[in-house]
Amino acid sequence: MKLLEELRADAARYHAPWYLEPGFWATFTYRLGRWARRQPRPLRLMALTPQKLLNQYFHIVCQVDISPEAEIGPGFALVHPRNILVGGCRIGSNCLIFHEVTLGMNANSGTFPELGNNVDIYTGARVLGAIRVGNDVKVGANCVVMHSVADGCTVVVAKNRVVSRRIVDAFGPRRMPVEVQASAPGVRPAGEFTSKPTPQPPAAPAAPETRTPPRTRAAREPHLETSKKT
Residue 24 lies in a domain: yes
What is the domain extent for residue 6?
A: 2-155
Other Cβ atoms less than 10 A from the Cβ of 91: the count is 23
Residue 45 lies in a domain: yes
User: pLDDT digits over 124-156, tens only?
Assistant: 999 999 999 999 999 999 999 999 999 999 999
Residue 35 lies in a domain: yes
CATH number at residue 117: 2.160.10.10
Residue 180 lies in a domain: no
Q: What are phi and psi of 215, to 5 degrees?
A: -80, 150
Please choose, from the candidates 21, 19, 29, 80, the residue with its C-alpha nearest in 3D space to the C-alpha of residue 52: 29
pLDDT tier at 174, thresholds 50, 70, 90 = low
User: pLDDT digits over 6-42, tens only?
Assistant: 999 999 999 889 999 999 999 999 999 999 988 888 8
Residue 25 lies in a domain: yes
Strand partners, 128: 104
What gap in Å lies between CA 22 and CA 78, rounded to an integer? 8
Instruction: Count the domains in the chain.
Output: 1
Residue 205 lies in a domain: no
Residue 161 lies in a domain: no
pLDDT for 225 beyond 50: yes
> What percentage of the chain has pLDDT greater than the value 70?
74
Residue 228 lies in a domain: no
Q: State whether residue 207 is helix, strand or coil.
A: coil
Residue 107's pLDDT is: 81
